Amino acid sequence: IRTRKVIMDDLADYFTTKETPNKVRLAVACCTNMCGAVHCSHITVVAIHRKIPVIDHANIKNLCEVPSTIAWCPTGAISPDPSKKSIKINADKCMYCGNCYT
């Protein structure tokens, strides 16, 4: 999400000062076929996550649904962390797909 904002901040002047026939849609994803929605976006940027997500243990329950976040991980790198009442990420299993970011 942060990547999309940075890109739009950079492009905003160009697209807001010119007359365009339609609104411009921007998609940022690691796969342009599914999440990138290349079929319905004007600009698609392939973004690759390179770092394991930082977990905000104090606010995680307000930011996401923990069981869903665990289920979305295709490699099973995310698991419950009972000691912090949060989640933890196994760095060896994480493939940086970004499913837990979105």
Strand 43-46 to strand 78-81: parallel, antiparallel, or no bridges (unpaired)?
unpaired
Q: Which pLDDT value is given to residue 47? A: 72
Quick one: which H or E segment has residue 78?
strand 78-81
Residue 15, domain extent = 2-46
Q: Which pLDDT value is given to residue 33? A: 65
36 and 22 belong to one structural domain: yes
56 and 39 belong to one structural domain: no
Facing residues of 15 across strands? none
23 and 65 belong to one structural domain: no
As for how many domains the chain has, the answer is 2
Per-position pLDDT tens, the chain of length 102: 466 677 778 877 877 777 777 777 777 776 666 665 666 777 777 777 677 888 888 888 787 788 888 998 889 999 999 998 899 999 999 888 777 776
The C-alpha angle 18, 45, 60, rounded to 5 degrees, equals: 110
Q: What is the CATH number of the domain that holds 85?
A: 3.30.70.20
Closest by alpha carbon to 43, among 12, 75, 66? 12
| DSSP, res 29 | E
73 and 101 belong to one structural domain: yes
User: pLDDT per residue over 5-20, tens digit each?
Assistant: 777 788 778 777 777 7
